[in-house]
Amino acid sequence: MNTTKAGPVATVRLKKIVNATAARAYRAWTEPEQMIKWFGCDQVTEVKVQQDFKVGGKYHIQMICGEITMNVTGTYEEIVPNKKLSYTWSSDFPDVATTDSLVSVQFVEQGDKTEIILDHSRFASEKAAQGHTEGWTFALGTLEKLFLGQGK
């Protein structure tokens, strides 16, 4: 994990190798019925995903954490099947909300495994970047377990 700061904007970069082809990892990231199996942090008990999966299409992810409901919304900016996704990200997470940050995910196939490279940029503060780093780190760990047959 790297968190860098360029001017007033922080960026997060995470990498994870998963036991899946790029096509399978991409589907886990783009199909709502797959996303609900891994998306969110450790306190999330339920995930709901609505999307218009196309460039310019909108998405809405709702996460339930006990009595708290958190939302992420955005627009798909780039879709390269099995290779790359890029989308805006606005979240109402307590203490680390963010508006119009940018998530870019690359899927780099390495034989029967895939390296997922996640860049989440345009954070207004390091605190927001750190909070999202913790969430993404947990989610990528859950995704990795899903491909090992140990997911939710």
Q: Quote the number of domains for the chain.
A: 1
**What's the pLDDT tens digit per position in 79-137?**
999 999 999 999 998 888 899 999 999 999 999 999 999 999 999 889 999 999 999 99
Query: Residue 2 — pLDDT band, cuts 50, 70, 90?
Result: low
Q: Is residue 31 part of a domain?
A: yes
Q: Is residue 151 part of a domain?
A: no
CATH number where 36 lies? 3.30.530.20
Q: Is residue 152 part of a domain?
A: no
Range of the structural domain that residue 127 is part of: 2-146
Q: Is residue 62 part of a domain?
A: yes
Q: Is residue 84 part of a domain?
A: yes
How far from 85 is each of 31, 68, 81, 91, 137, CA to CA, in Å?
A: 13, 28, 8, 18, 18
Q: Is residue 95 part of a domain?
A: yes
